[in-house]
């Protein structure tokens, strides 16, 4: 183990060996990385543990600098494990460079079938006794991390002292199609709010989309397309995202010798914002996190989008309506334009066609839950449907909700100490809803 200091905090790097397939404990293993964080001056104290599960899927745990944001509040009373879920961060990676070691697309898809919340929770249950001596710990789950926490409540509640969820209460039984049918109207509302705030962006967005439709420029091997431009709407789900999108659009064009052209500044910003090089599992696994039972996900976001023709960029450009941005959705074309995903297109197709997904949530066990649970539910959250979240909240015995419009989906980062304080007070019965 390697320990080092940052302002107000002591960090220790930890690595754990776990089975790839928990049903085959003597088979292949992978490595899971976690970073322990404890307040300076308290490393030798017997503090209770809190494990943080990041959103995604496909993102490693956030890299904090010192005791900042919610982490500073957490280390006042916990020893925190910032877990890189399997395949992310410093855990055994899964990407275009490493997956070919598995074999062809079929072998890669079979491998990735072990990278959902059920396997992540079983990783946690192997790691927990090694750190806590067998004592239960508190879980803080952000977004997809909250999905993992709800599975944890279904599968291994004995390992949990308390559960804190921020923007991550999944539907217990909705197919991916239902998730996206609920998502596109929310996205449309966020786009309308953005254009109401920055009406000048309506013309700017049309101009950018029209330019990309005609030229389709290449930026470091990444083909920039109108659909890729629309996907910048994912920014609208965070507290400052509308403003960031506006500043991006105001730099879109420069005057070259042949007239207006997309600036290098904009093209680079769009490429880095839409590339999956740093988190390919997000693209590969995003829809299959909803897979339960025999029904395939089958590129759900793409199919359901056809039910909302107002998002068709070509139709918008042919008429005089605004170009609508999209949000948190993955489409087949992602695997054609992004060099980090192109080699994985067939693997993604096989995952989308898969029909043997285990059921993730046990409704009866959740209805009998005895673990203290509190969840921040963000009003009109762009990424997780509020209606779905509240139905799930009512299905988990004893869960206390805090419904707020003060924050967007990134509330635990934007207002971390306040959000964590509120959830801890709720699970301890120290605050009203």
Residue 432 in any domain: the answer is: no
Judgement on whether residues 211 and 332 belong to the same structural domain of the protein: yes
Averaged confidence pLDDT in the chain: 96
Element at 305 (helix H, strand E): helix 300-305
Domain CATH number, residue 74: 3.40.50.1820
pLDDT over 90 (residue 432): no
Q: What is the set of active-site residues?
A: 143, 356, 409
Contact residues for 270 (Cβ-Cβ < 8 A; gap 6+) = 219, 224, 228, 229, 232, 248
Judgement on whether residues 310 and 349 belong to the same structural domain of the protein: yes
Rounded percentage of the chain residues whose pLDDT exceeds 90: 95
Helices (H), 100-171: 105-112, 117-132, 144-155
Mean pLDDT of 115-123: 98
Q: CB of 171 within 8 A of CB of 183? A: no
Q: CB of 407 within 8 A of CB of 380? A: no
The domain boundary residue, chosen from 320, 353, 386: 353
Residue 348 in any domain: the answer is: yes
Burial label, 352 (beta-carbon count in 10 A; 0-12, 13-18, 19+):
buried
Q: What is the number of H-type helices and E-type strands within the chain?
A: 18, 13
Residue 433 in any domain: the answer is: no
Chain segment 102-117, per-residue pLDDT in tens: 999 999 999 999 999 9
pLDDT over 90 (residue 208): yes
The number of domains in the chain is 2
Mean pLDDT of 353-375: 97
pLDDT over 80 (residue 364): yes
Judgement on whether residues 318 and 407 belong to the same structural domain of the protein: no
Judgement on whether residues 260 and 345 belong to the same structural domain of the protein: yes
Judgement on whether residues 181 and 162 belong to the same structural domain of the protein: no
Q: Is the dihedral of CA 171, 71, 82, 57 positive or negative?
A: positive
Mean pLDDT of 167-180: 97
pLDDT over 90 (residue 190): yes
Judgement on whether residues 349 and 365 belong to the same structural domain of the protein: no
Judgement on whether residues 154 and 183 belong to the same structural domain of the protein: no
The domain boundary residue, chosen from 305, 331, 353: 353
Domain, as residue range, for 74: 2-173+361-427
In angstroms, the Cα distances linking 300 to 283, 295, 330, 353 are 13, 11, 9, 11
Chain segment 211-240, per-residue pLDDT in tens: 999 999 999 999 999 999 999 999 999 999
pLDDT over 80 (residue 191): yes
Residue 113 in any domain: the answer is: yes
Residue 423 in any domain: the answer is: yes
Judgement on whether residues 207 and 104 belong to the same structural domain of the protein: no
Judgement on whether residues 115 and 236 belong to the same structural domain of the protein: no
pTM of the model as a whole: 0.96
- What is the rounded CA–CA span in Å between residue 400 and residue 283? 32
Judgement on whether residues 187 and 293 belong to the same structural domain of the protein: yes
Judgement on whether residues 206 and 164 belong to the same structural domain of the protein: no
**C-alpha R_g of the chain:** 22
Judgement on whether residues 62 and 140 belong to the same structural domain of the protein: yes
Chain segment 303-356, per-residue pLDDT in tens: 999 999 999 999 999 999 999 999 899 999 999 999 999 999 999 999 999 999
Chain segment 27-78, per-residue pLDDT in tens: 999 999 999 999 999 999 999 999 999 999 999 999 999 999 999 999 999 9
Chain segment 79-106, per-residue pLDDT in tens: 999 999 999 999 999 999 999 999 999 9
- What is the rounded CA–CA span in Å between residue 394 and residue 410? 23
- Which pLDDT does position 433 carry in this prediction? 56
CA-nearest of 286, 253, 267 to 222 is 267
The domain boundary residue, chosen from 353, 374, 401: 353
């Amino acid at each position: 183990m390697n320990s080092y200091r940052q302002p107000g905090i002591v960090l220790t790097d930890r690595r754990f060996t776990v089975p790839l397939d928990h049903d085959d404990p003597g088979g292949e293993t992978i490595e899971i990385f976690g970073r322990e964080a404890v307040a300076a001056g308290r490393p030798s104290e017997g503090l209770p543990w809190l494990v943080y599960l990041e959103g995604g899927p496909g993102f490693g745990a956030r890299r904090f600098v010192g005791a900042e944001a919610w982490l500073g509040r957490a280390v006042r009373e916990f020893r925190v494990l910032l877990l890189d879920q399997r395949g992310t961060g410093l855990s055994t990676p899964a990407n275009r460079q490493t997956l070919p070691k598995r074999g062809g697309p079929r072998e890669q898809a079979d491998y990735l079938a072990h990278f959902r919340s059920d396997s992540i929770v079983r990783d946690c249950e192997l790691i927990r006794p090694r750190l806590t001596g067998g004592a239960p710990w508190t879980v803080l789950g952000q977004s997809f991390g909250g999905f993992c926490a709800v599975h944890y409540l279904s599968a291994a509640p004995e390992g949990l002292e308390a559960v804190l969820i921020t923007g991550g209460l999944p539907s217990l039984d909705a197919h991916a199609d239902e998730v996206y049918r609920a998502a596109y109207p929310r996205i449309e509302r966020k786009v309308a709010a953005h254009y109401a705030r920055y009406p000048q962006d309506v013309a700017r967005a049309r101009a950018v989309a029209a330019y990309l439709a005609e030229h389709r420029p290449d930026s470091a091997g990444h083909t920039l397309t109108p659909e890729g431009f629309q996907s910048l709407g994912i920014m609208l789900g965070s507290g400052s995202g509308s403003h960031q999108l506006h500043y991006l659009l105001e730099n879109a064009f420069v005057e070259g010798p042949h007239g207006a052209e997309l600036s290098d500044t904009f093209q680079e910003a769009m490429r880095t914002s839409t590339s999956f090089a740093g988190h390919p599992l997000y693209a590969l696994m995003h829809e299959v996190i909803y897979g339960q039972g025999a029904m395939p996900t089958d590129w759900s976001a793409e199919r359901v989008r056809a039910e909302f023709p107002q998002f068709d960029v070509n139709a918008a450009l042919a008429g005089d309506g605004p170009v609508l941005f999209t949000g948190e959705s993955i489409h087949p074309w992602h695997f054609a334009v992004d060099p980090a995903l192109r080699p994985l297109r067939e693997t993604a197709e096989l995952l989308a066609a898969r029909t043997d997904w285990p059921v993730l949530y046990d409704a009866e066990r959740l209805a009998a839950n005895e673990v203290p649970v509190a969840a921040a539910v963000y009003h009109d959250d762009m990424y997780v449907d509020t209606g779905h979240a509240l139905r799930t909240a009512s299905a988990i015995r004893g869960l206390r909700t805090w419904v707020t419009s003060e924050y967007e989906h990134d509330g635990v980062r934007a207002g971390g100490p306040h959000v964590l304080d509120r959830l801890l007070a709720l699970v301890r019965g120290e605050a009203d809803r």
